[in-house]
C-alpha cells in the first residue's frame, strides 16, 4: 500500500525522492519521509500528512546527499504520526529502513530485541526490521548478509529499502509479496514501488521477484536470491511515458482517466480480434476447445472494483456459455477451502497485479491443481508472472485511487473471454457473434457521446442532490451489478452512505430505509427487465424517494416514474454495463467535487492493496 523510492547517483537525492513520492502518493498519504546519507550520518526528515508537508519541512530543515530513500505511508501498525512515519532507524542512527508490507511476527521479534537492549520509539512493525538488521550487522556480517539474515527471520510481506552509514555508496532493496522495481539509469540507479516514481529518469528496470535482493550503486546493480546467490534478470523497458502520469490540464487524475476510456476500450478491442473480425485472439492464451472441454466450473476471484467486473463476467459466462461460475471476493475465497480441482478454471482480476489477497487466491488455486488465468493491467506484476495465462487490460497508468478506466478495461476483458469461450465450445453462432462484434466496435464512440452530452446534465443533478445523506442504487441482473460499482464510487470519493440493492429484494427489507427525499439511483438498461425495475421504482417513489434513472435511449416511459433520467446509447444487452457505468462515474466525481473532497486521494484508501 505504501510508496517507496530510492536514489543512488551524482545529483542531490532529495529532489529525486520528493518527485518520486509525489508520483506515488496515490499509494498512501498518511505521512511521508526521507533518509539521505550525508557525510558520516543519515539525515532523516519525516512528518505526518501529505508529501507537501514533507517538502515544507525540508525547506526549513534541509538535508543533502547523493544517496537516499523515501516513503509515503498508508498506516497499518500505529496511527498516522511523525513518530510512526518512515524511514525508521536503528538506535545508533547508522541504519535506516523504509518498508511496504506487514511483518506478521513483529511482536515476537520486538520482544527478543528489547531483551537485547534495543529501544522502540514507534508503534510500527517496521522498526523491528531496522533493529534486526543492526543486530545481525553488529555480529560481524556485511550489510547484505545482515539484511539476508533478517529476511530469514521475518514473516509476512515486505518491500524494503535500506541505508547504512558504513556503506556510503550503496542501498539495498528486497521484496516479498510487495512490489518493488530497480530503475536503471546512466550513472544513477533507483528503486521504486511503481514506475511513475522514476519515469522522469528512466524506463528501464529490473522487476524484483519474491525473496530477491538488490545491491544498488550509481554504476552497478547486483541481484541475489534469499540464500545470497547472485542471479541474472532481463531488463524490462516500460512503454508508458511521463505524460501518462500527468494530469494534462484536467483538474484531477480521476477526471482525466474517465475521459481516457474511449481510447482504452478501443485499444483493448482493436488488438483482440482476428483480421477478418470473426474470432477472438487473446495474446496467445492457450484456452482452446480441448482445454475448455476439460473445465467443468469457473471461479472468478478479485477485490473491490475488479470484483464487480468479475460479477459481470459471471453473469455473461453463465448466460451465454452455460457453465457454472462462482464469483468470490479474494479475501473470502482463500479461507473457505473452495471446491476446486484440475477441472476448474480460476480467473483472478487485479489492476495492479499485486493485490495481496488476490495473489494469495491464485497460489491457493494452483496448489489445488486449477488452471489460472490472470486479468491484469501491470505488465510483469506478481499475478502476471505466476498465472498460467495472462490477459493484459491495456488501460495504461491509472493514478486516481478510485478506478475508472481500469474497470472499463476489465469489463471489456470479460466480454472478450466470454465470446472466446463461447466460440470454442460452440455456444454462439456466426450471426450472433457478428452482431455483438458490431456493437462492440461502436462502444468507444458511444462512451465519447455520453461524456460529451451527460456532463452538463449531471452537474445540474449534483446541485439538486448534493444534500443527500443516504443513496441507494437499484437494478436487476447486470443493472444490479453495475449499480454496485456506482455505489462504491460514491462511497470512495464523496464519503456518502450508499448501498446497492437488487431491485426485486427491496420489499424484503431494504425498502424500510426509504424516507422522504432519499436519493435512489435506478439502473434500468436491461430491456427484458425494464418493466419489472420500473415497478420497483414506483414503490420507492410512493415512499417519498427522489429517483435518478439511467436508461437506454428510446425507453422514455421511465420519465413517468423518475425525477431525472440519463440516457445511454442503444447497444446489445450484454454491453450495457460498460455504458451505464460512465454516468455513474461522472455523478460520483461531481458530487465529490461539489462537497469539496480530495478526489484523487480519498481518506483511508490507497491505490494498490498489497497487504491483507
Same domain, 430 and 548: no
3-state helix, strand, coil in the chain (%, to 5): 40, 25, 35
User: Residue-wise over 458-485: b if at least 16 C-beta within 10 A, else e?
Assistant: bbebbeebeebeebbbbbbbbbbbbbbb
Looking at residue 229, what is its pLDDT? 95
Same domain, 360 and 468: no
Please identify which of the residues 2, 256, 489, 491 carries the catalytic annotation: 2
Looking at residue 380, what is its pLDDT? 80
Query: How does the average pLDDT of the chain come out, rounded?
Result: 93
Q: CA-to-CA distance for 33 and 39, rounded, in angstroms?
A: 19
Same domain, 225 and 278: no
Please identify which of the residues 50, 110, 176, 607 carries the catalytic annotation: 607
Looking at residue 612, what is its pLDDT? 60
Question: Is 423 a member of any domain?
Answer: yes
Same domain, 64 and 192: yes
pLDDT one-digit tens code per residue, 429-449: 999 999 999 999 999 999 999
Looking at residue 514, what is its pLDDT? 92
Question: Is 605 a member of any domain?
Answer: no
- CATH number (domain holding residue 283): 3.40.50.10490
- Roughly how many angstroms between the first and final C-alpha of the chain, as a whole number? 10
Q: What percent of the chain has pLDDT over 70?
A: 98
Q: Which three cell numbers stand for residue 72?
A: 509515503
Same domain, 350 and 374: yes
Question: Is 607 a member of any domain?
Answer: no
The whole-angstrom distance between residue 590's C-alpha and the CA centroid of its chain comes to 22
Domain that residue 396 falls in: 247-441
Provide the 8-state DSSP code for 517.
Answer: T
Mean pLDDT (whole number) for 18-31 = 86
Give the domain-ending residue among 199, 226, 244.
Answer: 244
Mean pLDDT (whole number) for 225-245 = 84
Q: What percent of the chain has pLDDT over 90?
A: 81
Cβ pair 591, 465 in contact under 8 A: yes
Q: Can 607 be counted among the known catalytic residues?
A: yes
Same domain, 69 and 137: yes
User: SS3 of 378, please?
Assistant: coil
In what helix (H) or strand (E) does residue 232 lie, and over which residues does it extend? none
Same domain, 58 and 193: yes
Give 609's pLDDT tier (boundaries 50, 70, 90).
Answer: low
| Residue 455: pLDDT over 60 | yes
Peptide bond into 558 cis (omega under 30): no
Mean pLDDT (whole number) for 337-353 = 95
Same domain, 321 and 281: yes
Same domain, 411 and 487: no
Q: Which three cell numbers stand for residue 485?
A: 460499482
| Residue 245: pLDDT over 70 | no
| Residue 610: pLDDT over 60 | no
Give 178's pLDDT tier (boundaries 50, 70, 90).
Answer: confident
Question: Is 75 a member of any domain?
Answer: yes
Mean pLDDT (whole number) for 222-236 = 94
Q: Which three cell numbers stand for residue 122?
A: 514507534
Give the domain-ending residue among 441, 458, 486.
Answer: 441
Mean pLDDT (whole number) for 175-194 = 94
Question: Is 526 a member of any domain?
Answer: yes
Same domain, 135 and 240: yes
Q: Among 393, 327, 335, which residue's Cα sits nearest to residue 361? A: 335
Cβ pair 498, 491 in contact under 8 A: yes
Q: Which three cell numbers stand for residue 277?
A: 473480425
Looking at residue 190, what is its pLDDT? 98
- CATH number (domain holding residue 133): 3.60.20.10
Looking at residue 195, what is its pLDDT? 86
DSSP alpha helix (H) spans, 273-394: 289-293, 304-316, 330-333, 356-367, 382-386
Looking at residue 40, what is its pLDDT? 87
Q: How many Cβ atoms sit within 10 Å of the Cβ of residue 257?
A: 26
| Residue 519: pLDDT over 60 | yes
pLDDT one-digit tens code per residue, 572-593: 999 999 999 999 999 999 999 9
Same domain, 171 and 275: no
Q: CA-to-CA distance for 591 and 597, rounded, in angstroms?
A: 9
Same domain, 347 and 264: yes
**Which carries the bigger pLDDT value, residue 340 or residue 247?**
340
Looking at residue 243, what is its pLDDT? 63
Question: Is 604 a member of any domain?
Answer: no
Give the domain-ending residue among 392, 416, 441.
Answer: 441
Could you tell me which residues come within 8 angstroms of residue 304 by beta carbon, excluding any fewer than 6 positions away?
Answer: 403, 488, 609
Q: What is the domain count for the chain?
A: 3
Q: Can you give the pTM of this predicted structure? A: 0.86
Question: Is 224 a member of any domain?
Answer: yes
Looking at residue 216, what is its pLDDT? 98
Looking at residue 244, what is its pLDDT? 65
Q: Among 253, 256, 261, which residue's Cα sits nearest to residue 445? A: 261
Q: Can 303 be counted among the known catalytic residues?
A: no
Question: Is 548 a member of any domain?
Answer: yes
pLDDT one-digit tens code per residue, 383-401: 999 999 999 999 988 889 9
Amino acid at each position: 500500500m505504501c510508496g517507496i523510492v530510492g536514489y543512488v547517483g551524482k545529483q542531490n537525492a532529495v529532489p529525486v525522492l520528493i518527485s518520486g513520492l509525489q508520483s506515488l502518493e496515490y499509494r498512501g498519504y498518511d505521512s511521508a519521509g526521507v533518509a539521505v546519507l550525508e557525510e558520516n550520518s543519515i539525515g532523516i526528515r519525516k512528518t505526518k500528512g501529505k508529501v507537501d508537508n514533507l517538502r515544507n519541512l525540508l525547506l526549513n530543515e534541509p538535508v543533502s546527499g547523493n544517496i537516499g530513500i523515501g516513503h509515503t505511508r498508508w498506516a497499518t501498525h500505529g496511527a498516522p504520526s511523525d513518530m510512526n512515519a518512515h524511514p525508521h532507524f536503528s538506535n545508533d542512527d547508522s541504519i535506516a529502513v523504509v518498508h511496504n508490507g506487514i511483518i506478521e511476527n513483529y511482536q515476537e521479534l520486538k520482544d527478543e530485541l528489547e531483551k537485547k537492549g534495543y529501544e522502540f520509539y514507534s508503534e510500527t512493525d517496521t522498526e523491528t526490521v531496522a533493529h534486526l538488521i543492526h543486530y545481525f550487522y553488529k555480529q560481524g556480517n556485511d550489510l547484505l548478509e545482515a539484511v539476508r539474515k533478517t529476511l530469514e527471520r521475518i514473516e509476512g510481506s515486505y518491500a524494503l529499502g535500506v541505508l547504512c552509514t558504513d556503506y556510503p555508496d550503496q542501498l539495498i532493496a528486497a521484496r516479498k509479496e510487495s512490489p518493488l522495481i530497480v530503475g536503471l539509469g546512466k550513472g544513477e540507479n533507483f528503486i521504486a514501488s511503481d514506475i511513475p516514481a522514476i519515469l522522469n529518469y528512466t524506463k528501464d528496470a529490473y522487476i524484483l521477484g519474491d525473496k530477491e535482493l538488490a545491491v544498488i550503486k550509481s554504476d552497478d546493480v547486483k541481484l541475489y536470491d534469499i540464500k545470497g546467490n547472485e542471479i541474472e534478470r532481463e531488463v524490462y523497458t516500460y512503454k508508458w511515458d511521463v505524460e501518462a502520469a500527468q494530469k494534462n490540464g484536467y483538474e484531477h487524475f480521476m477526471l482525466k482517466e474517465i475521459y481516457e476510456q474511449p481510447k482504452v476500450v478501443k485499444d483493448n478491442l482493436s488488438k483482440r480480434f482476428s483480421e477478418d473480425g470473426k474470432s477472438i485472439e487473446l495474446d496467445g492464451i492457450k484456452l482452446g476447445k480441448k482445454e475448455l472441454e476439460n473445465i467443468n466450473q469457473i471461479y472468478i476471484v478479485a477485490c473491490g472494483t475488479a470484483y464487480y467486473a468479475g460479477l459481470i463476467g459471471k453473469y455473461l459466462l453463465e448466460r451465454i456459455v452455460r457453465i457454472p461460475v462462482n464469483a468470490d471476493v479474494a479475501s473470502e475465497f482463500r479461507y473457505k477451502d473452495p471446491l476446486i480441482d484440475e477441472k476448474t478454471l480460476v480467473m483472478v482480476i487485479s489492476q495492479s497485479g499485486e493485490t495481496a489477497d488476490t495473489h494469495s487466491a491464485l497460489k491457493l488455486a494452483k496448489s489445488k491443481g486449477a488452471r489460472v488465468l490472470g486479468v491484469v493491467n501491470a505488465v510483469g506484476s506478481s499475478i502476471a508472472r505466476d498465472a498460467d495465462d495472462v490477459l493484459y487490460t491495456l488501460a495504461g497508468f491509472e493514478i486516481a485511487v478510485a478506478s475508472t478506466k481500469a474497470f472499463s478495461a476489465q469489463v471489456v476483458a470479460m466480454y472478450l473471454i466470454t465470446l472466446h469461450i463461447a466460440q470454442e465450445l460452440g455456444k454462439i453462432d456466426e450471426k450472433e457473434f457478428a452482431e455483438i462484434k458490431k456493437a462492440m466496435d461502436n462502444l468507444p464512440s458511444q462512451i465519447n457521446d455520453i461524456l460529451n452530452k451527460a456532463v452538463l446534465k449531471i452537474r445540474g443533478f449534483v446541485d439538486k442532490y448534493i444534500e443527500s445523506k443516504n443513496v441507494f442504487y437499484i437494478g436487476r441482473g447486470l443493472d444490479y451489478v453495475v449499480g454496485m460499482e456506482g455505489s462504491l464510487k460514491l462511497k470512495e470519493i464523496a464519503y456518502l452512505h450508499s448501498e446497492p440493492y437488487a431491485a426485486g429484494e427491496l420489499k424484503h427489507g431494504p425498502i424500510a430505509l426509504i424516507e422522504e427525499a432519499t436519493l435512489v439511483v435506478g439502473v434500468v438498461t436491461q430491456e427484458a427487465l425494464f418493466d419489472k425495475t420500473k415497478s420497483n421504482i414506483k414503490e420507492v417513489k410512493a415512499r417519498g424517494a427522489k429517483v435518478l434513472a439511467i436508461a437506454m435511449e428510446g425507453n422514455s416511459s421511465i420519465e413517468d416514474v423518475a425525477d431525472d433520467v440519463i440516457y445511454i446509447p442503444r447497444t446489445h444487452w450484454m454491453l450495457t454495463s460498460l455504458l451505464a457505468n460512465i454516468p455513474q462515474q461522472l455523478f460520483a466525481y461531481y458530487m465529490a467535487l461539489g462537497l469539496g473532497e480530495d478526489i484523487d486521494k480519498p481518506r483511508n484508501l490507497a491505490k494498490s492493496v498489497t497487504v491483507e
